Amino acid sequence: MSITILGIESSCDDTSASVLRDGVIHSNITATQTVHMAYGGVVPELASRAHQQNIIPVVDQALKEANVTADEIDAVAFTRGPGLLGSLMVGTSFAKGFALSKNIPLIEVNHLKAHILAHFIDDLKNTYDHPNFPFLALLVSGGNSQIIIVKDHMDMEVIGETIDDAAGEAFDKCAKVMGISYPGGPIIDKRSKEGNPLAFEFSKPKIQGLNYSFSGLKTSFLYFLRDRVKENPNFIEENMNDLCASIQYTIVDVLMNKVKRAVRETGIKEVAIAGGVSANSGLQNAMKEAAVKMGWKVYIPQLGYSLDNAAMVAITGYFKYLKKDFVEQDTAPFARMTIK
């Protein structure tokens, strides 16, 4: 019997809906909110209002594109957390209403696990090579930087994480001090391609074990720019590409050093990257290089599954459906959910 899942994602500033049948994505529609650009970060109240406006048209389009009616959906999976509470509330309420009206099961999804399970998605054109358990995942987004041992679809153990800022935050904050609008990560990535990664050197954090820290790097970048701009007010504009390439090189190097250590310590050589920062070309290249030099098997998300999306929620929902892992209508969103 075939199983059709509707996935709903609304944890931050993307409203997304996806239809997945038996592990294969049939549609993945995302409305990205642009209202936040003027503010240098996501404004929670504006995000929840935009989700309210977007959710019905986005789900409607996802059903149409998949050529599926609401009556053909077997279960609704939604992001329960972590994320912005007001934003999560919109997706959760919609999912509950949909499940209640169609009398179908409701499945809660942990957004962080979903980023990792995006590696198990197939589409109508391709069946992909999926990671084998146990594998390591580097989860890097605007809110998280974690190294995880993935033992099973649902059994995951965090072995390292940031003690302050996330890698995405480091990209965005460094971009902000150069006058780049939010989110600056993708723009740093683009400008890096024209710059010299060794033009400027920034001190790297010295943190024990497998944990990360990015707040010192951001501060040293800020002080470096402040001093240079004092000497030359046009310093940033004149060196933008080199600055982007150098800061990206440093962040990627910090990320990779701990992943290499995690591989050494665990002996696990299958490594997947996930989350918004996994779209970064510097990180992707560093992973591919490690695969060749160190014999790792690396997994890089397919285009469209790095950033927040409902396809990853739907695939997680599918695995939970197979285990009959459902929740009741009194389930509430949870802003601070962790991977455990």
Contacts to ligand KG4 by CB under 6 A: 12, 141-143, 168, 171-172, 183-186, 189, 275-277, 279-280, 307-308
DSSP one-letter code for 183: S
Residue 124 sits at φ, ψ, to 5 deg, of -65, -25
Q: How far is the CB of 113 from ligand KG4 (least distance, A)?
A: 13
Q: How far is the CB of 5 from ligand KG4 (least distance, A)?
A: 21
**Which long-range CB contacts under 8 A does 70-73 form with residues at least 24 apart?**
70/98, 70/102, 71/102, 72/4, 73/4, 73/5, 73/6, 73/19, 73/98, 73/102, 73/104
Q: How far is the CB of 269 from ligand KG4 (least distance, A)?
A: 25
Q: Can you point out the beta strands (E) in the chain?
A: 4-9, 14-21, 24-32, 75-81, 106-110, 122-123, 135-140, 145-150, 156-161, 270-274, 297-299
- Please, which residues have CB within 8 angstroms of residue 250's CB and are 6 or more apart in sequence? 201, 202, 204, 217
Q: How far is the CB of 55 from ligand KG4 (least distance, A)?
A: 18
- Residue with smaller CB distance to ligand KG4, 184 or 333: 184
Strands of 106-110's sheet in order across:
106-110, 75-81, 4-9, 14-21, 24-32, 122-123
- Residue with smaller CB distance to ligand KG4, 7 or 105: 7
Q: How far is the CB of 40 from ligand KG4 (least distance, A)?
A: 12
Q: What is d(CA 121, CA 129) in angstroms, rounded to the nearest whole number?
A: 10
Q: How far is the CB of 275 from ligand KG4 (least distance, A)?
A: 4
Residue 316's identity, in one-letter code, is T
Taking CB atoms, the residue at the shortest distance from ligand KG4 is: 276
- Residue with smaller CB distance to ligand KG4, 99 or 252: 252
- Residue with smaller CB distance to ligand KG4, 44 or 134: 44
Q: How far is the CB of 168 from ligand KG4 (least distance, A)?
A: 3
- Residue with smaller CB distance to ligand KG4, 18 or 141: 141
- Could you tell me if 151 and 157 are in contact, meaning their C-beta atoms sit under 8 angstroms apart? yes
